[in-house]
Chain A
Amino acid sequence: MTVRDRLIGLAEFGDERRRHRAIAALATCFALLVASPVIWMVVRALGAPPDAFALLVSPGTLQVLVNSVVVIAAVSAFSVLIGVPLAVLTVQTDLPFGRFWTVTAALPLVIPEYIGAFAFASAFGPHGAFADALVPLGVTSIPTIYGLQGTVIVFTLFTYPYVFLTTRAGLLSVDETLVEAARTLDRSSIGALREIVLPQVLPAISAGVLLTALDSLADFGTPAIMHYDTFMRQIYVQYNNYAQPGYTALLSMELLVVVAVVLVLESRVSGDANAGFSGGGSGRPGSVRLGRWRWPATLFPAAVAVLAIGVPLAILVKWHYRTGTTYAGFAFHLSDVLHSVEVSALAAVAALVASLPVAYYAARSDSPLSTVVDRVSYVGYAVPGLVLGISLVYFGTAFVPALYQTLPMLVFAYVVRFLPQAVGSVRSSFLQVDDTLTEAARTLEHSPLAAFRRVTIPLVAPGLAAGAALVFLTTMKELQATLVLQPTGFRTLVTYIWKVQEAGYYSEAAIPALVLVGVSALSMLVLLARERYDV
């Protein structure tokens, strides 16, 4: 039963309050469903040996916890500094080739962090390509990339697209008439942007920051390659100790506490903006004229693209050609690519459908329950892929063995992982829709469902597209849940890339990485074309 079916059913009730209650129930169900894997964690954590509890508060654990918090704070800040200007440039200005830069700005999201980190260590490490290139110029040593700085640089470059995409959707939904009004009141373009637009897109920005922060928190590879200890290493190390699953679960619970704090902080920021008044946007691009800065302005998206896409691909290609004879130990098939696109598209659609009631409820209701439901939908995202995967193995084999290792179960795992990406984008769009518009539509004798379809959906289309893009791109690179839950024999691009890099054959990762970026770029173009607003 799809949401649409349910909504049709709801429409027949006609009663506003009952409909509202039904949406609330649906949203609550979805949120609980995606949070269910945590139950396994709790059960396991309670069964952990006493020593494990001591580990939770050991000085080492607390130290890496602090390290992690420092990383996510820095990454959040830098992601805003990169993502928001890029979104403003591509949406609000007459930047040349806006659509092209929109795609390049979103693409770093598909590059697996361990590939990005490897490339940066390889390019800017103490004996890397960059250092080698400087030697003839008399530069014998460069500042080290290892440590906090490298970790923050890599995380920022490969996760800022969350902020970019959500901000972009927020900007596209901004009511231009308000901006015009501000201008007639003698405001400059920039002034209008700051005073009218920014408050409206704040929920969208903070939704993106939240995704950036949670992603950085849950990654082990990047800090490890950059020689920096974060909390995730504790979990990774324990995860490899098969005999003691309780430790992993317990540490994951501690991670959840950190996430809960981040979630509360974020809801403070986006909550303040709930009062935002706005009508549906006709977000035409080019409302800010860049004048003679039009061409120089392209340097910014170009520089980001070079660093976040160019450097990783160049390093992989360099490795590819450095190898005298190609190491041909691994078969790489077209079917791997098709599988990736297939599951990513399925996950995007499923997450979008599931996000509608949750986001609508969160945006439209003032009840504390709606806030809780919205926040609970993030819990699955906060569970490391490793832990989520194994808890779904447990649930699958215990309760639904017929679904275990099937595509539906894999897609469910993706929805658990990535629902918040859709919820965040869609909710901030709903927040921008003016209630009076939907009411007006209803007074014109449209049924509530028709009003929703004809008025609300088009208004939130940019948010839906952004949500779908986020889920699609992150599913393209998802690894951990894919490995444990995919149907046996089902291979994707990323499981291939993981396989070769894990064995140390980075030269073999070049072609699949190029394909991954190329296919994702094409998919982005399709998504953008479906958006109602031309870029």
Chain B
Amino acid sequence: MGDRDTPTRRQFLAAGSVIGTAALAGCNGIFSGGGEETTSSTTSTGTTSTGTTSTSTSRDVDISNWRGSSPLVQDRPMPGGPSITEMPDLEGELTLYIGGGEGGLYQQLATLLQKHYPDFTVHTRYSAANQVLTEGQNGQVRADVFWANDAGSLGVVEDADLAASLDGDTTDLVPSRYHTDAWTGVAGRARAIPYNTKQFSESDVPDSIDAFTDTADLDAKMGWAPSYPAFQSFVTAMRVLEGEDATRSWLNGMQERGHGGMSQYKNEWYVSNAVADGEIGAGIANHYYTIRVISSRPNAPIDLAFTKNDAGALVDVAGAEVMKDTSNPELAQNFVHHLLSAEAQEFLATWSFAYPMIGGVDPVEQLPALSALNPPDLDLTKLANVQPTLDLLRQTGVLS
């Protein structure tokens, strides 16, 4: 990850507006209203008439519009990286398919971009990869851009030959492990170990995923969510890295620990919430759920630990790809490029608590920097091969 030499490229954006306006524009106001325009667009644009085709890179950007309102994200430095003010305007109509539960937040980001550009309209819907694939079978892909929440989904759409190549200056912004020619990560999702701080300290949590099967302190105190796709991606990663047999004995070992075995949850928010409640002492989950629990319950006794250089430290990405059949490839490419702007990355870091993909933006301060994580060396597109993982989970009884 030597390409993440962030501080030198950090450039501070001119906020453009006085603090008073920023406060007035506070995020509650922005997100609550249908009719209310953001300060950033009202300063330079009037109504959406077709005439105003000023090549306005002059539109001001007020970063507080893009930043989350959680108390966790106060006092952040200005984000660095390419600003949308340096990018060509978004103009025209775009259909965006969003896969997965983060959809609400992603949709808000798309709406913010729409508010920023008077001649830009984005139509969003929540559609996972199987809808894109089914449309593709009949040559009826309706999406211009597909924004999935895992690399596996991006990979199957790419494999079905439905995705176009991305512009080089877009993918150049992202470390090579988090993009291919056809898709780019826009938000990192790290595997992590949420633990209850009343029951454990960080040193109690092993820094190797394999060691969990030998740690008696954790007996019958852990939970996971085997039907949740991100958990399956983690097991797929382990299969690829360590092989089928090692993964099988790890799964068996985890289930045999203590008398209670592993508690099973619906998804990894439930795992993280159960850790905060003390229902379990530790879990296996994506990192951002823990930050969301803390965000809604600031005093919750929960913190995150990370393993090193193994599947437990996998960093998967939510990412975007341009559909081959789009009628407006220029707009679609430019939109994906915008997702990697300083403003969009700041939004993703502070609203969804994801790991930003560009160097100039930091994750929230409760998280270690991306460069401080130790993800395994793994081609993320291999995560699409889920069926052998499901077979393994069933053979070991983790799934029925």
Q: List the interface of chain A (C-beta within 8 A of B).
A: 51, 55, 58, 60-61, 63-64, 125-127, 221, 224-225, 227, 229, 233-234, 236-245, 247, 319, 322-331, 333-335, 390, 393-394, 397-398, 401, 404-405, 483-484, 486, 488-489, 495-496, 499-500, 502-505, 507
Residues of B within 8 Å of A225, CB to CB, are: 265-266, 270
Pick out which of these stretches binds chain A: B131-139, B238-246, B318-326, B364-372: B131-139
Q: Sample 21 A-B pairs with CB under 8 A, ordered by A number.
A: A126-B277, A224-B266, A225-B270, A229-B400, A233-B399, A243-B384, A243-B385, A247-B387, A323-B296, A324-B71, A325-B69, A327-B296, A330-B104, A330-B105, A397-B134, A397-B139, A484-B131, A488-B95, A499-B126, A503-B102, A505-B104
The residue in chain B whose Cβ has the minimal distance to the Cβ of A238 is B390
Q: Once A and B bind, how many residue pairs between them come within 8 Å at the CB atom?
A: 171
Interface core residue of A233, A240, A398 (most chain B CB under 10 Å): A240
A331 to B277 CA separation, bound complex (whole angstroms): 29
Interface presence of B397 (CB below 8 A)? yes
A505:B108 contact, CB within 8 angstroms:
no
Residues of chain A lying within 8 A (CB to CB) of residue B131: 390, 393, 484
At the interface, yes or no: B264 with Cβ under 8 Å from chain A?
Answer: yes
- With A242-B133, A486-B125 given, is the CB distance from A333 to B279 under 8 Å? no
Residues in B whose Cβ lies below 8 Å from that of A244: 386-387
Within 8 A of A (CB), among B38-66: none
Tell me the bound Cα distance from A504 to B292 in angstroms: 7
Task: Check B227–A488 contact: CB distance below 8 A.
Answer: no
Q: Are A51 and B391 in contact (CB under 8 A)?
A: yes
B394 at the interface (CB under 8 A from A): yes
Q: A242-B153, A393-B131, A488-B142 are in contact. Are A507 and B296 (CB under 8 A)?
A: yes
In the complex formed, the residue of B with least CB distance to A393 is B134
Q: Contact partner of A243 among B103, B293, B387, CB < 8 A? A: B387
If the complex has contacts A60-B397, A328-B32, A504-B289, are A242 and B128 also in contact, measured as CB distance less than 8 A? yes
Contacts of B199 in A (CB 8 A): none
A394:B129 contact, CB within 8 angstroms: no
Check if B249 is an interface residue, CB within 8 A of chain A: no
List B360-400 residues whose CB lies under 8 Å from chain A: 384-387, 390-391, 394, 397, 399-400
* Interface pair A390/B227, CB less than 8 Å apart: no
Cα A10 to Cα B43 with chains together (Å) = 66
For B273, the closest partner residue in chain A by CB is A504
Contacts of B71 in A (CB 8 A): 324-325
Q: How distant is B316 from chain A, measured CB to nearest CB, in Å? A: 14
Contact B293 A127 (CB under 8 A): no
Q: Tell me the residues in window 41-100 of chain B with beta carbons closer than 8 Å to chain A beta carbons.
A: 68-71, 95, 100
Q: How distant is A240 from chain B, measured CB to nearest CB, in Å?
A: 5
The yes or no answer to B358 lying at the interface (CB within 8 A) is no
Report the nearest A residue to B129, measured CB to CB: A242
CB closest chain-A residue, reference B397:
A60
Name the residue among A233, A238, A328 with the largest chain B CB count within 10 angstroms.
Answer: A328
Known A-B contacts A127-B279, A329-B351, A504-B293; A240 and B140 likewise in contact (beta carbons under 8 Å): no
Residues of B within 8 A of A390 (CB): 130-131, 134
Q: A242-B152, A390-B130 are in contact. List 17 more A-B contacts (CB 8 A).
A: A63-B400, A221-B266, A242-B130, A243-B156, A323-B297, A325-B71, A328-B31, A331-B32, A393-B131, A393-B134, A393-B135, A404-B142, A484-B127, A488-B125, A488-B142, A489-B123, A504-B272
Contact with A along B244-261 (1 / 0, CB 8 A): 000000000000000000
B212 touches A (CB below 8 Å): no
Task: Report chain B residues within 8 Å CB of A247.
Answer: 387
Q: Which of B124-177 contact A (CB under 8 A)?
A: 124-131, 133-135, 137-140, 142, 152-153, 156
Contact A502–B101 (Cβ < 8 Å): yes
Whether B292 and A505, one on each chain, are in contact in the complex, defined by CB atoms closer than 8 angstroms, is yes
Q: Tell me the complex Cα distance, A393–B132, Å.
A: 10
Q: Are B156's CB and A242's CB within 8 A?
A: yes
Q: How far is the CB of B325 from chain A (nearest CB, A)?
A: 12
Are B123's CB and A127's CB within 8 A?
no
Q: Is the CB of B104 within 8 A of A499?
A: yes
Bound: A466/B292 CA distance, A: 42
In order of increasing CB-CB distance, the 3 nearest A-B pairs are: A502-B101, A504-B269, A397-B140
Q: Is B298 an interface residue (CB 8 A)?
A: yes
